[in-house]
Structure 1
Amino acid sequence: MSGGGFHVHGPHDHELEHAAQGGHGGNESAGGMIAQIAVVTAIIATIGAIFSYMGGATQANAGLYKNNAAIKKTEAANQWNYFQAKSTKQSLAELARDLAPEDKKAGYQAKVERYEKEKNEIKAGAEKLEAEATTWDKSSDDQMHQHHRWAQATTVLQVSIALAAIALLTRKKWLEYGMFALAAVGLVIGAFSLLHI
């Protein structure tokens, strides 16, 4: 095209205009269908990629949280072992107190009381670690549930894309509607995942 109002068509311009208007042979609805499905498929694929990423992220988080829970459980087990050691020492101090002469009983009683105090502190620490482990376990389970939702949504969107390809090949309108329906279902499942449902 020139600036003086003179218009020259290139050899491909005519073909581009036909493609934009629905192709050859007067089948304009097929061209519109192709363009519509192509755009929707690209959007579905983009959303599917985001859902897939979110699914991978939640799965990684679930593993990390489960690892944190295992660490806390190990720390709690160590505290319970320490508690048991103090209990054993307390029992030995009580036995020694009971068998000791009267002038030595007060010393052993002080040890018994010290071990009892230490055990209570250790027990509180172990219970706190167990509660933290339970919290990490629950967080891991929540992330895995969310991961499954993201995976379900991604799968439904992939089936929708496959249906779009079949709709393009067969030019069946009902397959196009099926593609839209599956895409909507995938989006709803993705929304459930986003809302932690």
Structure 2
Amino acid sequence: MSGHGFHVHGPHDHELEHAAQHGDKDRFAGTIAVMTAILATIGALFSYMGGATQANASLFKNDAAIRKTEASNQWNYYQAKSSKQNLAELALVLVADDRKPLYQQEIERYKKEKAEIKLEAEKLEKASTDFDQKSDAQMHQHHRWAQATTGLQISIALAAMALLTRRKWLEWGMFGVAGVGITLGVLAALHI
């Protein structure tokens, strides 16, 4: 700009002045901007759900490992009772007849204790298997949320390219990929 009232400006400046003076609205840019904001919001929600399901899967897997360890401890206890029962059975053969009822009672006690221990061990193994299945289901759901989030991120990238190039096919691509991402999010919410 010179001091004599004469100035030169570029075409971008002219477009901005024209839009400001005449209130022209760019529907294409407005649509893309609104869709980008909506997709980013949905994507943030999907991302949160993906993180939550991944954390749940880890917690369930941890619970499965704890139950498996407890079951192993019960089976070790069962083996110890079996060893004691075997010793009592050996003693039953070796001791005098007047002491045999004592060892017979011990054998019966060990059999009863082993049955209770076995029941507890099997219950813990079942719980471990259940937690493993819950973990697997949560990981599947996590992957769905991650796929949905990725779809929305790609659609946002397509929106930016559509805005910069003003290509209508990129805008339709954005809507298509966003639709796929949202569909994957719905599948994740439905545990499919």
- The residue correspondences of 1:147-162 to structure 2 (distance < 5 A) are 147-162=142-157
Matches within 5 A, 1:43-192: 43-192=38-187
- What is the rounded CA distance, in whole Å, between the counterparts of 2:191 and 2:57 in structure 1? 14
Q: CA RMSD in A?
A: 1.5
Gaps of 5+ in 1: 1-11, 23-30
* SS of 2:191 mapped into structure 1: coil
Deviation string 1:90-132 (CA, Å, 9 cap, x unpaired) is 0110111111221111110100000000000000001001111
Q: 1:121 to 1:163 in 2, by over 3 A?
A: same
Please, which runs of 5 or more residues in structure 2 have no aligned partner?
Answer: 1-16
Deviation at 1:15, TM superposition (A): 1.0
Letter in 1 for 2:78: F
What TM-score do the two structures reach when normalised by structure 1? 0.86
- Supply the distance in 2 between the matched residues of 1:167 and 1:191 (Cα, whole angstroms): 26
**1:55-108 residue CA offsets vs partner (Å, 9 max, x unmatched):** 000001111111111111111110000000000000110111111221111110
Provide the identity percentage.
Answer: 64
Count of equivalent residues: 176
Task: Say if 1:92 and 1:17 are closer, same or farther in 2 by CA, change over 3 A.
Answer: farther
Letter in 1 for 2:20: E
Q: TM-score with structure 2 length normalisation?
A: 0.89
Q: Aligned match of 1:36 in 28, 31, 42?
A: 31
Take 2:36 and 2:86, find their aligned partners in 1: how far apart are those partners?
73
The 3-state SS of whatever aligns with 2:164 is helix
Residue 15 of structure 1 corresponds to which residue in structure 2?
Answer: 20
CA distance in 1, matches of 2:137, 2:110: 40
